[in-house]
Amino acid sequence: MTCGLKAGEKLVIASHNAGKVKEISALLAPYRVNCISAGELNLPEPEETGATFVANAELKAVAAATASGFPALADDSGLCVNGLGGDPGIYSARWAGPERDFGLAMEKVNRALRNARTDDRSAYFVCVLSLAWPDGNTMSFEGRITGALCWPPRGTKGFGYDPVFIPDGYDETFGEMDQDEKHRISHRADAFEKFVSWAFEEAR
């Protein structure tokens, strides 16, 4: 199996989400890989038919690697709300609808909690990063961060559900937080630390 990534190597970020591509590219910048997004390559977005974050991340990574002929890194992430039995979970993006309106998605989460008549607003973000090669081989790395939801949303930084998520130990939402600090502590940073340890260190 192919191992690791080299400086200067082309890596496809298997996402059409501009915010996610920007965040992953920023995290990869110190490793000097040549990032290009699936959107820039006009690759189709595969249907996310997996039942887990890992399955969906691997599906997207393999599709991008096969179509492009380059290694591809895919992220599948979502918000899991304990008072909603883990929803929206793998359907986090779908709660935003076809227009990817996360203002609408955050309203849906708040309304669902109110309808559930629960005071449990604890939640966690999960991120799975999957690296795939054109031959179909994959490696996956999972990260998470726990916190609680607030209402109404606060802050205009970040993306997705960031304005309603306050990580444990902080008073600010991800939407208010300095983005360098968010990148240091987030679920994506946790998964990313595991990924780079394997891809750029252990694989040498």
Edge to edge, the sheet with strand 138-149 lists 34-37, 10-13, 72-81, 122-132, 138-149, 165-167
Helix, strand, coil percent content, the chain, rounded in steps of 5: 40, 20, 40
Residues labelled catalytic: 76
Q: What are phi and psi of 89, to 5 degrees?
A: 55, -130
Spatial distance between the Cα atoms of 12 and 71, rounded to a whole number of angstroms: 6
* Backbone torsion region of residue 13, taken as left when φ is above 0, otherwise alpha when ψ lies between -120 and 50, otherwise beta: beta
